[in-house]
Amino acid sequence: MNTASPSPKQVVQRFNHEVIEQGRLDSFQALMAPDFINWSAPPGAPRDGSGMWITFEDYLRPALSGLQVEIHEQICEGEKVTTRKTIHGRHTGALMGVPATGREVHIDVIDIVTVRDGRYAEHWGMNTLSEVLAQLRSA
pLDDT of residue 4: 79
User: What structural domains and CATH numbers belong to the chain?
Assistant: 8-137 (3.10.450.50)
Lowest mean pLDDT among 3-7, 25-29, 118-122: 3-7
Res 53 pLDDT > 70? yes
Please state, rounded to an integer, the average pLDDT across all residues of the chain: 95
pTM over 0.85: yes
* pLDDT of 133 higher than 60: yes
Exposure of 90 in the CB half-sphere (CA atoms within 13 A): 4
User: Nearest Cα to 107, choosing from 132, 125, 124, 70?
Assistant: 132
- Over range 114-136, report the average pLDDT: 97
Q: How are the residues of the chain apportioned to helix, strand and coil, as percentages rounded to the nearest 5?
A: 30, 40, 25
Q: Does position 54 have pLDDT exceeding 90, yes or no?
A: yes
Q: Sort strands 64-77 and 80-91 into parallel, antiparallel or unpaired.
A: antiparallel
User: Please, which pLDDT band fits residue 108 given cuts at 50, 70 and 90?
Assistant: very high
pLDDT over threshold 90, residue 1: no
